[in-house]
Amino acid sequence: MLEGLRVLDLSRVIAGPYCTTLMADLGADVVKVERPGRGDDLRAWRGDGMSATYAAINRNKRCVALDLQHPEGARLALELARRADVVVENFLPGVADRLGVGYAAVAAANPAVVYVSVTGFGQTGPHARRAGYNTIAQGMSGLMALTGMPGQPPTKVGGSVADLAAAFLAFGVASAALVHRQRTGRGQHLDVSLVASTLALLPDPVAQYFDSGRRPTRVGNRNPNLTPAEAFRTKDGWLQVVVMNPDQYARFCALLGDDVLATDPRFATNDARLAHHDEMRARVEAALAGAPTAEWVSRCVAAQVAAGPIYEFDEVFEDPQAKHLGLVAEVE
């Protein structure tokens, strides 16, 4: 889809590089600039300079070593930018300008360029000059405040969620800017931050906070507004169930074989179940203890109740649907 698109990647670590990797996966010609001798910081995660994380985040790219602090290196980088449709960088604000590869310099040579800056906090403001990484953005966006068990410390979400949120957002706005350029002939400078991108993952708690004025709290593996919609223990593991409406709830009670859950006023409505959540959960888990997770998944699917197992990470890749979708591909 993006064959013929030329992308210059001046970024490192995850957010910026993964944005350009998404472009490379779709056929764009991506040239990644790295520091001579050291390269991207992710390389050092393994002693031979080619960590699995680096390879995954930077697949399908060509790499070149340029010292941007040397005039000749900066000149060559600017020449690459002059030929590029998209430039992605993640220096602290002002650094790219000082090196001679900021938006003003690149746009002067290439007015149609789509120039994407990915930072922790944005190009301006009181935190703009701070370094920002995944866990910092998770903490300052409120994501960690919402994650974890009640009464326990805030918890980091697994994976580099903040980086990837910024990467996908940068990819999306860059794509929109390319459409705009096709219509107008004009490029533009796009400002993407990890904190704003991570906060954008939380539209429902944000809306509920401003609507009610109440601060959301950690509720563990359950939905604070809907139940049953959480992880339940089974005979041999865990079952994730989401019941969205009264018809689904009736079918769920039937497959559990619990008439009390189906008829008792404490559990008759979603609001009632939220008010008596601990009692409801105890009854559900008492029923689920009678069979293994796989059997309950089959029963739920047959009853048209949304459910699935909670896998250990190695089990993810053995799931037949993951194999069918080709979610794992071997590359050279």
What confidence tens digit (pLDDT) does each residue in 229-256 have? 999 999 999 999 999 999 999 999 999 9
| Sole residue written with tokens 């403001």 | 125
Q: What does each C-alpha distance from 85 to 5, 78, 119 come to in angstroms?
A: 6, 13, 20
Whether 67 is catalytic: no
CATH classification of 229-324 is 3.30.1540.10, yes or no?
Answer: yes
Residues whose CB is less than 8 angstroms from the CB of residue 304 and which lie 6 or more positions away in sequence, other chains included: 248, 251
Q: Under a CB-based contact definition with an 8 Å cutoff, are residues 16 and 170 in contact?
A: yes
Tens-digit pLDDT profile for residues 298-312: 999 999 999 999 999
Task: Please state the domain extents for the chain.
Answer: 6-199, 229-324
- The closest alpha carbon to 115, from 137, 134, 97, 133, belongs to 97
User: How many angstroms separate the CA atoms of 262 and 249, rounded?
Assistant: 8
Main-chain phi, psi angles of 7, to 5 degrees:
-125, 130
One pLDDT digit (tens) per residue for the chain, 332 residues: 999 999 999 999 999 999 999 999 999 999 999 999 989 999 988 888 889 999 999 999 999 999 999 999 999 999 999 999 999 999 999 999 999 999 999 999 999 999 999 999 999 999 999 999 999 999 999 999 999 999 999 999 999 999 999 999 999 999 999 999 999 999 999 999 999 999 999 999 999 999 999 999 999 999 999 999 999 999 999 999 999 999 999 999 999 999 999 999 999 999 999 999 999 999 999 999 999 999 999 999 999 999 999 999 999 999 999 999 999 888 77
Residues whose CB is less than 8 angstroms from the CB of residue 232 and which lie 6 or more positions away in sequence, other chains included: 238, 239, 240, 241, 281, 284, 285, 288
At residue 221, the pLDDT reads: 95
Q: What DSSP string describes 95-136?
A: HHHHHT-SHHHHHHH-TT-EEEEEESS-SSSTTTTS---HHH
- The closest alpha carbon to 101, from 64, 69, 65, 133, belongs to 69
Q: Per the CATH hierarchy, to which homologous superfamily does domain 6-199 belong?
A: Crotonobetainyl-coa:carnitine coa-transferase; domain 1 (3.40.50.10540)
At residue 48, the pLDDT reads: 85
Among 163, 247, 259, 271, the active-site one is: 163
At residue 45, the pLDDT reads: 86
User: How many angstroms separate the CA atoms of 24 and 21, rounded?
Assistant: 5
- The closest alpha carbon to 39, from 10, 8, 71, 65, belongs to 65
* Residue 12, number of CB atoms within 10 A of its CB: 24
Show the tokens assigned to 3: 């064959």
